[in-house]
A and B are shown apart, each in its own frame.
Chain A
Amino acid sequence: MKRVALFIPCFVDQLEPKTGIDMARVLQRIGYAIDFPEAQTCCGQPGFNSGYWREARALAERYIAIFRDADFVVCPSGSCTTMVRVFYKDLLEGAAREAASNLSSRVFEFSEFLVKVAKITDVGADFPHRVTYHDACHALRELHLREEPRELLRHVKNLELVEMPYSEECCGFGGTFSTKFPMISAAMGETKAANAGAANVEYVTSTDPSCLMHIDGILRSRKSPVRTIHLASILAQRELPNENRSQSVMTQTSQ
């Protein structure tokens, strides 16, 4: 049996555990054995993005030591995947850099792993809702994933995929940017929320739980009926008997 190691970003572990659980369920369903290396904490991105490369370096080296023997590493975040695959090369030097580049070819964002490695676009999901996809920046511009998540969504039974205007414009989260410059971040989030509203959808989905947490906070504070859901949670959704359908949506929206 093929094995994958779960790379669960620190904030997914603490704030969005359902996303990790749903990703693991989908991977199991399509026939992968799952490892969760419990020593993992954070890939180092918050420090790296804030200029604290020395601190981030320690975490990057720690991360590599934990995952170095995995066949595949799969992550429910394009951003954290980017940190390992793209930025470790900038951050590290010498042997550590070598080890990073060796590992980087085996680290995948979830939708990328399904489509490019497992070569599956239909995971047997059913989600009878109108959904739009938000292009998370790192997934789009660093990992060049535009079609992979959409391809998976197109194969979800009963799901209606709608493009929102400016789907590729940043939602404004940006990690510590959102706390250093909350007014700019929120203004960008408002634009994203308005675009999702214009698409007249029930859900915004994406590869990145951090974008979704930000968009969700903006949507709810502006009393929008639109909700957010991670791609993994859509793909984990199976067909349910009709009487359970409304209940299923409730579980989706609550934590």
Chain B
Amino acid sequence: MNTPAKEFLRSAAAKSADLAHRSTIRTGIDHYEAAVTRTGARFLDWEAARQRCQAIKWEAINHLDKYLLEFESRVQDRGGHVFWAETAADARGYVSELAARKNVRTVVKSKSMVSEEIDLRQDLEKQGVKVFETDLGELIVQLRDEPPYHLMTPAMHLTRTEIANLFQEKYGGVESNDPQHLVDIARRALRDAFFSAEMGITGANFLVADSGIVALTTNEGNGRLGSSLPRIHVVVTGIEKVIPRMEDLAVLWPTLARSAVGQSIACYNTLIGGPRNANEPDGPEEFHVVLLDNGRSELLADAEQREVLHCIRCGACLNVCPVFRKIGGHSYGTVYGGPIGSVLMPHLGGLNKFQHLSFASSLCGACTSACPVKIDLHHHLLQNRRNAVESAERPFSERLAFKLWRWMMMGPMRFAILGGAARASLRAAHALGLEGTRLDPMRPWTKTHAPPAIPDKSFRAQWRTIAKK
């Protein structure tokens, strides 16, 4: 087995047994679910909204070439720059080179999973640029020097007391764990950075093709400040974020807000069109959009899983996932965690390396039910498993076991005889008091479960007696 799989097993086992973690996450998710239920009532027809969002994203993804070029030309018309980055290194290189060329010392960054995907902050820091995460959750995990726990709520795993202690250690002056007080401390710490930064980096929630507009959603206003105060604004985003028309936002915005955090609409929805015009008093002097491919166009070529590109990164599938709730966001060891990450990572990072994530699911389907753009997530996990068996490394013992399984199940006599023998051996093992020990044939089941009573006769044997009467 490969290393990420081993690391996953180790971390998932540890987190699954961590009851404090389980309770922190449950509290967070309970708040989320209550808010989602509340705001759901404000949709006349939630299912219709999902279908509409699905249709919009389908149209965009299936005409990606057309809409991306349209977006690019409108941005260029207003004096913005568009850079097509085929790989993470290309994207990173473009931004780092730009920062160096423009003598950028300080960067304020709002939340962007694509920037995590390409390790942008680390790359800029390597060349001596100070990078401030300005989303509160991202700031917290930056201060802890750890990756975001969740693609929408990066500090979900922390209690406010833990955050208060962290702020006291890093900033001082913490008087209580009151959320407003903690926000005030972060705000003071970030204010200077906003005014001194030469470059603001943001992600994009949507790229509107018909108007060449970047739609940016935040709840803290940090994206708006970071995109308007510094003299250079850089948007780093994936090619799948494009949507055809401005009016599509009418349904995408509230659907995103509900699925992400249970709001009717997010607090700050900003539309950004390009650099400052000659007659405008503020805004950046330069505007760059980095469009990242990094494996996405290969996913586009996969007809079975193309719709994975519909994802609007709301995080709903993580929140409802019972596996995520147990193992936590960091166990995945990937930029994108939870069900969407398990589906996506084999495409972005290689099937062999990330196939284990597709097996680490009970296939309950809660993710698919929650997805606002109706991605068939748990069925894609099944396809990844099939792909893994067809073209990746699986244990020899497993391959052999399924060959034997097929052989046994192809003959009802074989099945009845071998099944009877297995039951007899289980009963014998349990009679000898081996249950739960290393010699128990039912281990690892009996490691975590009381052993089931093993029936003397199978259904088919019992039915024969009943049917004769």
Which A residues are closer than 8 A to B by beta carbons?
8, 10, 12-18, 20-21, 24, 36, 38-42, 44, 46-53, 55, 58-59, 62, 87, 90, 137-138, 141-142, 168-170, 172-189, 191, 213-214, 216-221, 254-255
Contact of B409 among A41, A168, A214 (CB under 8 A): A41
CB A32 to nearest CB in B, in angstroms, measures: 14
Please determine whether A46 and B364 come into contact, CB atoms closer than 8 angstroms.
no
B13 interface contact, C-beta 8 A? yes
CB A221 to nearest CB in B, in angstroms, measures: 4
Please determine whether A14 and B419 come into contact, CB atoms closer than 8 angstroms.
yes
Please determine whether B386 and A188 come into contact, CB atoms closer than 8 angstroms.
no
A186 and B461 alpha carbons, distance in the complex (Å)? 32
A49 and B466 alpha carbons, distance in the complex (Å)? 34
What residues of chain B lie closer than 8 Å to A18, measured between beta carbons?
A: 455
A44 and B388 alpha carbons, distance in the complex (Å)? 18
B306 interface contact, C-beta 8 A? no
Nearest residue, chain A, Cβ from B33: A166
In B43-78, the 8 Å CB interface with A consists of none
B170 interface contact, C-beta 8 A? no
Please determine whether A184 and B406 come into contact, CB atoms closer than 8 angstroms.
no
Interface of A is mostly: helix
Q: A21-B463, A52-B389 are in contact. Are A187 and B17 (CB under 8 A)?
A: yes
CB B6 to nearest CB in A, in angstroms, measures: 13
Please determine whether A181 and B364 come into contact, CB atoms closer than 8 angstroms.
no
B326 interface contact, C-beta 8 A? yes
Please determine whether A38 and B460 come into contact, CB atoms closer than 8 angstroms.
yes
Report 10 cross-chain contacts, Cβ distance below 8 Å, ordered by A residue.
A17-B455, A51-B385, A141-B364, A174-B362, A180-B359, A181-B359, A187-B16, A191-B22, A213-B452, A221-B448
A153 and B388 alpha carbons, distance in the complex (Å)? 42
CB A56 to nearest CB in B, in angstroms, measures: 8
Please determine whether B448 and A181 come into contact, CB atoms closer than 8 angstroms.
no
Interface of B is mostly: helix
CB A201 to nearest CB in B, in angstroms, measures: 19
B363 interface contact, C-beta 8 A? yes
A48 and B385 alpha carbons, distance in the complex (Å)? 9
Nearest residue, chain B, Cβ from A42: B409
Please determine whether A15 and B452 come into contact, CB atoms closer than 8 angstroms.
yes
B368 interface contact, C-beta 8 A? yes
Please determine whether A17 and B402 come into contact, CB atoms closer than 8 angstroms.
no
Nearest residue, chain A, Cβ from B13: A183
In B375-411, the 8 Å CB interface with A consists of 379, 382, 385-390, 394, 398, 402-403, 405-406, 408-411
Please determine whether A141 and B368 come into contact, CB atoms closer than 8 angstroms.
yes
A174 and B326 alpha carbons, distance in the complex (Å)? 15
CB A188 to nearest CB in B, in angstroms, measures: 5
A9 and B382 alpha carbons, distance in the complex (Å)? 21
Please determine whether B459 and A53 come into contact, CB atoms closer than 8 angstroms.
no
Nearest residue, chain B, Cβ from A59: B409
Please determine whether A13 and B448 come into contact, CB atoms closer than 8 angstroms.
no
Nearest residue, chain B, Cβ from A44: B409
CB A135 to nearest CB in B, in angstroms, measures: 10
Nearest residue, chain A, Cβ from B385: A51
Contact of B402 among A10, A50, A138 (CB under 8 A): A50
Q: A50-B389, A174-B361 are in contact. Are A182 and B409 (CB under 8 A)?
A: no
Q: A221-B449, A255-B455 are in contact. Are A177 and B410 (CB under 8 A)?
A: no
Please determine whether B460 and A179 come into contact, CB atoms closer than 8 angstroms.
no
What residues of chain A lie closer than 8 Å to B12, measured between beta carbons?
A: 181, 183-184
Please determine whether B453 and A217 come into contact, CB atoms closer than 8 angstroms.
no
What residues of chain B lie closer than 8 Å to A46, measured between beta carbons?
A: 405
What residues of chain A lie closer than 8 Å to B447, measured between beta carbons?
A: 182
CB B307 to nearest CB in A, in angstroms, measures: 15
A189 and B452 alpha carbons, distance in the complex (Å)? 15
Please determine whether A169 and B322 come into contact, CB atoms closer than 8 angstroms.
yes
In B393-447, the 8 Å CB interface with A consists of 394, 398, 402-403, 405-406, 408-412, 415, 419, 422-423, 444-447
A216 and B390 alpha carbons, distance in the complex (Å)? 35
A188 and B448 alpha carbons, distance in the complex (Å)? 12
What residues of chain B lie closer than 8 Å to A216, measured between beta carbons?
A: 450, 452
Please determine whether A141 and B449 come into contact, CB atoms closer than 8 angstroms.
no
B221 interface contact, C-beta 8 A? no
